[in-house]
Homo-oligomer: A and B are copies of this chain.
Amino acid sequence: MAAEYTLSTDRHSRLNEQESFKSLYIVRSGSFKTTISASNGREQVTGFYFPGEFIGLDAIHHQSYRSTAKSLESSTVCELPYKMLQEIGKEMPQLQIQLLTRLSKELSNDKSLMLLLGKKTSDEKLATYLLSLSKRFKDRGFSATDFQLSMSRGDIANHLGLAVETVSRILSRFQENGLITIAGKVISLKQVKNLEDLCG
């Protein structure tokens, strides 16, 4: 449905920015990160997006994009002009409900992320993060234990409110302790149960 609009992006290309809101995007292939920036230039990675997920839901309200999406590898998206969605939605309440549900899901995830950012230690943050990625891949029909980290250590660190060095160190330690194996971007979860215990 509505797949007539597509947009392909190279590695590290930007999808949208400060401009006025016209469309939502669904990731078709690849992956993206979204960031917002404070007035002093500091940036926060607010989320990672994989195929099937919506980008831009937080812009509906302001009618302008508050976040910037960047592709983490070469990726494609499907553009959904919001006006069109509204038109279709009038005849298909089911579509509106679907949109509502997606928004609600992202909201709920973000609340969990607040718990992560506010209350967890760095070990807990990493363990929780790895398991959340695992779940997302599993839901998508991929391996829950072996996957690629398309984002850099820096992106992970930023997203979790940590320093890059901390992420490096903890991943190394997790590997020493046999919880995972990791080589560059390729990671394999070896002791899911123990990782779960680490989440708190």
Contact = CB atoms under 8 A, between A and B. Distances in A.
Interface of A: 36-40, 42-44, 46-47, 57-62, 66-67, 86, 89-90, 93, 96-97, 99-108, 110-115, 117-120, 158-161, 199-200
A103 B107 contact: yes
Contacts of A199: 38-39
Given A114-B114, A117-B114, A96 B100 contact: yes
Contacts of A200: 38-40, 42
Contacts of A42: 115, 119, 200
A199 B44 CA distance: 15
Contacts of A115: 36-38, 42, 44, 46
B38 A101 contact: no
Q: In the complex this chain forms, how many copies of it are found?
A: 2
24 contacts: A36-B112, A36-B114, A36-B115, A38-B119, A42-B119, A44-B114, A44-B119, A46-B114, A47-B111, A57-B107, A58-B104, A60-B100, A61-B104, A61-B105, A61-B108, A62-B104, A66-B108, A86-B97, A89-B97, A96-B97, A103-B107, A107-B107, A117-B161, A119-B161
Nearest to A99: B100
Contacts of A57: 103-104, 107
Q: Which 5 A-B pairs have the closest CB atoms?
A: A118-B161, A60-B104, A61-B104, A117-B117, A61-B105
A102 B60 CA distance: 9
